[in-house]
Amino acid sequence: QVLLVESGGGVVQPGGSLTLSCTASGFNFSAYGLHWVRQAPGMGLEWMAFIRYDGAATHYVDSVKGRFTISRDNSNNRLFLQMNNLRADDTAVFYCTKDAGTSGNYYFDSWGQGTLVTVSS
């Protein structure tokens, strides 16, 4: 079955950087688009970033453009989110999700368990 396991969360100071990872198994990793979705404490879901199956195209929500970078390593079935210039309002659980298609604009058919990022001094 599809398994997505996030790692890399933790506590970081405002203005700091952090890189999240997601290790995938149970499906043909290089054939599907992938996303990062976040959920602030007690709040709803917010889509953050998408990367196409081959890594050749990415898209971000406006609030993180220029600060976050999504990337993937299809040789090792891993997804990444590099986060720079972190702010207190970036505090959230970050989920790795699998797109049901290759190039975006499909639903999210599998989710990881999430990793918590806390931005605090």
Partner 1 sequence: EIVMTQSPATLSVSPGERATLSCRASQSVSRNLAWYQQKPGQAPRLLIYSASTRATGVPGRFSGSGSGTEFTLTVSSLQSEDFAIYYCQQYNYWYTFGQGTKLEIK
Nearest approach, Cβ of residue 84 and partner 1 (Å): 22
- ∠ at Cα 10 (96, 46), nearest 5°? 40
Nearest CB to partner 1, comparing residues 30 and 58:
58
Nearest CB to partner 1, comparing residues 59 and 67:
59
Question: Which token pair is 11?
Answer: 């506590």
Nearest CB to partner 1, comparing residues 28 and 113:
113
Nearest approach, Cβ of residue 35 and partner 1 (Å): 8
Is the distance from CB of 99 to CB of 49 less than 8 angstroms?
A: no
Nearest approach, Cβ of residue 13 and partner 1 (Å): 27
Nearest approach, Cβ of residue 117 and partner 1 (Å): 15
Nearest CB to partner 1, comparing residues 105 and 121:
105
CB neighbourhood size of 105 (10 A): 9
Residues of the shown chain interacting with partner 1 in the complex, contacts defined by CB under 8 A: 35, 44-47, 50, 59, 95, 100, 104-114
Question: How many Å apart are CA 37 and CA 41, to the nearest integer?
Answer: 13
> Using CB atoms within 10 A of its CB, is residue 45 exposed (0-12), middle (13-18) or buried (19+)?
middle
